[in-house]
A = this chain, B = another copy of it.
């Protein structure tokens, strides 16, 4: 390789930060390089997954930490085309859900502890509290992220589907969820279509995300301005509307209506049997 080519990690960092990365260089190795190369994939081939890929995702997911080892999460693997289509309808018919062979639905699952305790006549008053829903959401997210890292290492692509939360009541019915189980997000898994490669999305400069000792937003106004300009350039390069990050993000949180159905999340969660005390 000619000497003026950057290392793969340096090239990945340049794509991610466009010159706005950390002032101290990160350490790199194969695992770090693998993490830096993440991109969310929205264009899939219809090919079946390789044998053992789902199992790889699950064992990786279960290897993530779980709060007090309570393991208050579960996952449903959906491969049936018609069920995928019905779930995609909740998301505004995101096409990649239809195209890819697998949709994993990650669940904050307090029902297992409820069943296990009930069978033994043990109380579970603690499950009625907001805290325990958060534990389930965090457990599910840590598990899912490990699955993503594992699946990508098999050459597969993934994309999180937060839009399943547009209507968790319908998702819960479709998956036959018992009470005390909340769908947190979906994850599409499949072979990326090499003809439509995904880009690495630039992120906010490190100095906006990381503070030392105490929270600081001193560097933020200038850093966000810089990022907004870089993001417009990225959008231009992707032939997307050149809105910038600020306008695009602000639009997503401007009004309850912008939440695409999720402004009733609290009521929907309570409808799934959580008391949210």
A binding-site residues for B, Cβ under 8 Å: 13, 16-17, 21-22, 24-32, 34-38, 40, 50-56, 58-71, 73-80, 83, 107, 111-113, 115-117, 119-120, 122-127, 129-132, 134-135, 137-138, 141-142, 144-146, 148-150, 153-154, 159-160, 162, 165, 174-178, 181, 184-185, 201, 203-204, 206, 208-217, 220-221, 224, 245-246, 248-250, 252-256, 258-259, 262-263, 265-266, 269, 276-277
B69 near A126 (CB under 8 angstroms)? no
Rounded to whole Å, the gap between the CB of A83 and the closest CB of chain B is 6
Rounded to whole Å, the gap between the CB of A208 and the closest CB of chain B is 7
A79 near B213 (CB under 8 angstroms)? yes
CA–CA, A37 and B27, complex, Å = 20
What are the 9 tightest A-B residue pairs by CB atom distance, in nearest-first order? A126-B253, A141-B141, A31-B153, A131-B262, A22-B55, A145-B145, A26-B56, A131-B265, A176-B214
A269/B130 contact (C-beta < 8 A), A35-B146, A65-B40, A154-B27 known:
yes
CA–CA, A273 and B80, complex, Å = 43
**A and B contact pairs by CB, cutoff 8 A, 5 listed:** A24-B55, A27-B50, A32-B150, A36-B60, A62-B209
- Residue of A62, A83, A120, A132 most packed against chain B (CB within 10 A): A62
Q: Report copies per complex.
A: 2
CA–CA, A157 and B210, complex, Å = 20
A209 near B74 (CB under 8 angstroms)? yes
B253 near A127 (CB under 8 angstroms)? yes
Interfacial chain B residues near A17, Cβ < 8 Å? 59
CA–CA, A13 and B150, complex, Å = 15
A250 near B24 (CB under 8 angstroms)? no
Interfacial chain B residues near A201, Cβ < 8 Å? 69
Interfacial chain B residues near A125, Cβ < 8 Å? 253-256
A258 near B126 (CB under 8 angstroms)? yes
Partner of A126, one of B75, B76, B254: B254
Rounded to whole Å, the gap between the CB of A137 and the closest CB of chain B is 6
B277 near A211 (CB under 8 angstroms)? no
CA–CA, A153 and B53, complex, Å = 22
B211 near A250 (CB under 8 angstroms)? no
Interfacial chain B residues near A30, Cβ < 8 Å? 30-31, 153
B38 near A63 (CB under 8 angstroms)? yes
